[in-house]
Amino acid sequence: GQQLNQSPQSMFIQEGEDVSMNCTSSSIFNTWLWYKQDPGEGPVLLIALYKAGELTSNGRLTAQFGITRKDSFLNISASIPSDVGIYFCAGQLRSGTYKYIFGTGTRLKVLA
């Protein structure tokens, strides 16, 4: 099935550092969702983006809906050990269907 390209694929960072990851596609999306998944668990919704150019924050997390509507970015500031996990972006291709395509995931590991 179709997937979104997410980068980086994985990253090791030191505690306290800021993290950036992005999701890109050749297709235009109407909505972007960002999720975090811990091992053996279901994904947890972090941030939802609805308009091109929109910048939304949730605590230390900030996400942006790319102006071209083909990409989205997630930033985590001052990372802490519990930020460890896999982060997925999800894009809604067509309005009204409510179906999302998921990114390939970014595996984050934080070194204390």
Partner 1 sequence: GAVVSQHPSRVICKSGTSVKIECRSLDFQATTMFWYRQFPKQSLMLMATSNEGSKATYEQGVEKDKFLINHASLTLSTLTVTSAHPEDSSFYICSARHPGQNSYEQYFGPGTRLTVT
In the complex, the residues that contact partner 1 under the rule CB under 8 A are 1, 3, 30-31, 33, 35, 40-45, 48, 50, 88, 90, 92, 97-105
Instruction: Provide the phi-psi class of 105: left if phi over 0, else alpha when psi is between -120 and 50, else beta.
Output: left
Return the number of the residue (13 or 48) whose C-beta is nearest partner 1. Answer: 48
Return the number of the residue (35 or 73) whose C-beta is nearest partner 1. Answer: 35
Whether the Cβ atoms of residue 29 and residue 51 lie closer than 8 Å to each other: no
Minimum gap (Å) between residue 110 Cβ and partner 1: 19
Helix (H) or strand (E) holding 54: none
